[in-house]
Amino acid sequence: MVGIMKLNNRQYPSDFDVYLFHEGTLFESYKMLGAHILYENDIQGVRFAVWAPNARQVSVVGNFNNWTGTQHPMERLASGIWVLFIPELAHEDIYKYEVTGPDGRKELKADPYAFYSELRPATASIIYNLNTFEWQDQKWMAQRLKKDIYNKPMTIYEVHLASWKQKENGEFYSYQELADELVDYAIDNGFTHIELMPVMEHPYDGSWGYQITGYYSATSRYGTPEQLMYFIDQCHQKGLGVILDWVPAHFCKDAHGLGLFDGTPLFESVDPMRAERPIWGTYSFDYSKPEVVSFLISNAMFWMDFYHVDGIRVDAVSSMIYLNHDNPLPVKLKNQFGGEENLEAIKFLKKLNETIFQKYPGALMMAEEATEWPLVTSPTSTGGLGFNYKWNMGWSNDVLKYMKLDVKERPKHHHLLTFSFLYAFTDNFVLPFSHDDMVHGKRSLLNKMSGDYWQKFANLRLLFGYLFAHPGKKLLFMGSELGQFDEWKYQQEMDWMLLDFEAHSNFYRYYKELNKFYQETNSLWRLDHEQYGFQWIDADNAEQSVITFMRRGKRKGDYCIVICNFSADVYHNYQIGVPSNGNYFEAFNSDATSFGGSGQLNSAPIHASKIPHNNQPYCLEITVPPLGIAIFMKETKTRKRGVSTNGI
């Protein structure tokens, strides 16, 4: 069998690996701990190893011994790691650890390092050989090392696999089936990456994967580990990157999981005030324990190692770095210096990013961080957390709050549109419209929009246009591209039938054209993270709810002029400043009738007048569409209306 190791003696785990594990620097601890198929003295079997330092006894139980703990007791090493080699066990045998705690109570625990698990509601771990899949993504992996991710377009499609599409009987599609449908759909819609909400094993569908029991186990809801590998391999072969949501902040309390693993707080803190995460009903990881650090950093490495994922979006970073964030305890927690920062978590995150980038320099490490913590995407050597991207949740909150307002109220809240530009270049940002924005009564993006039926769609077209014109990479939750009316429901598939309705099919066409235009227009992404890539033309027209700005590319003359009208009025003969003389043409307009708009376009080229305006030496007179975005470019020999701007 592929990938089976041979051992000629019982010297396992190695003393050096054990030392590193307890030091918090064994970053491939999944090769030491867990269940591994191998040969010992030419006998095939499975070596089990588990960290349970406070247990009185640990035994391996399973379908091979009638779940009887007396048959296969494990040997305790001085390190607190328990080991056992059982001959003749093989791929897909089922097991757990029977752990006897210091008080004599016995609990059946899933393996923290299991590579596969039973389908819920069953909870046993499954012996699994992950080395049999033959990857075909060598070209992608080689190119990933050279790719300049910062100066390329990036649109991320956030997906919950169970509810993207379901079979007629309500069953989930498998990873392999999704590889044949979801991958092509994402590519056809212009996405560069797909972000999967957690695919690690979890007991409760309603947690969406954010309350995990099997950090190394690809959930069996959608099939086998090889099928997930096939899905990722197909993504890569077709040019689509894969990002996984990852949850190192907390874990669920289910009896078979990590909680009180050896009969004592092990992965969580011994201090119940720091161990509990009341708002989620979970335990928080204790980053002060080196073994927990080894476990978690190894887990991030594991998904990149065995599954070839391109990036990790780290969930709930704010709740990690602040002791009291989303943690309504009766008293405030303090660190040793009296502050509310979780110093151990901050150290952990820095070590995590340093370790990942050392081995995978082309990786994406994205932080879901909602506070004003500085330097999230700066190197650790300069005092940063070391991520290379941060979700700009402040921008999302502000702009969605604004879009809910009646058009008459918007002039008084103009700052919600413009404030983000004060900090747009302090970190490398992803602009997210994620699942969190459209659940728990928050309504879908379309249903957040103010106004009547037509205005809702016009507002959403405008919002998407503003998203793609604003500096930063883009993320959309599935269903947003259809203009779903209902908020996300994890129990059922997306509302695909909406495409049978003209307003939704028009919006879907708009989204695809907008994303295509974005990808072909270098100035909209080439300098996403540099101040030079953006310049205000008019930020202050609150009375008419209009903003105008310039996006620049790297080459001289590579720029576009963006005007967004958040009022329901059409403005004719509206003057905007431009930086140079010549003819300008409207390259994109969200108000086109083919998109469901009213058709207030600028169909002919417009010659710039030598009249200074908006601190620019020239100006244009244009028609500004209602609740619309229009983007203008200067004509050149190779760039005119209807000619692709790709390569400018």
- Can you tell me the distance from the alpha carbon of 107 to that of 201, in angstroms, rounded to the nearest whole number? 19
Cα dist from 482 to 6, 486, 511, 524, whole Å: 53, 11, 8, 23
Q: What is each CA distance from 382 to 378, 385, 390, 625, in whole angstroms?
A: 7, 9, 17, 46
Structure tokens at 630: 């229009």
- Residue 17, token pair as written in the block: 């690996």
| Strands 618-624, 628-634: pairing kind | unpaired
For the chain, how far is it from start to end, CA to CA, in angstroms? 52
Rounded Cα–Cα distance for residues 497 and 353 (Å): 42
Cis? peptide before 13, omega within 30° of 0:
yes
- How many angstroms separate the CA atoms of 293 and 274, rounded? 17
Q: In sequence order, which residues have a C-beta less than 8 Å from that of residue 291 and are 6 or more positions away?
A: 21, 22, 24, 51
Strand order in the sheet with 5-7: 5-7, 34-40, 43-51, 81-87, 75-76
Q: What is the dihedral of CA 342, 345, 347, 350, to 10 degrees?
A: -130
Tokens representing residue 181 in the block: 């449908």
Question: Encoding tokens for residue 543?
Answer: 């009375």
Strand-pair partners of 618? 578
* Residue 166 DSSP one-character state: B
**3-class DSSP state of 501:** coil
Which tokens sit at 109?
A: 């625990």
CA 597-602-603 angle, to 5 degrees, is 100
In one-letter notation, the amino acid at residue 238 is: K
Identify which of 169, 251, 170, 178 has the alpha carbon closest to the alpha carbon of residue 216. 251
Residues that are catalytic? 315, 368
Residue 556 CB coordination number (10 Å): 7
Distance between CA atoms of 575 and 602, rounded to whole angstroms? 13
Structure tokens at 248: 């190192």
Nearest Cα neighbor of 320 from 341, 306, 291 is 341
| Nearest of 149, 233, 205, 630 to residue 430 by alpha carbon | 149
The whole-angstrom separation of Cα 325 and Cα 331 is 13
CA–CA gap between residue 170 and residue 117 (Å, rounded): 22
CA distance 346 to 384: 10
Beta strands 282-284 and 250-252: pairing type? antiparallel
The tokens describing 596, both together, are: 């469901």
Strands 618-624 and 571-578: antiparallel
In which residue are the tokens 């600028």 written?
602
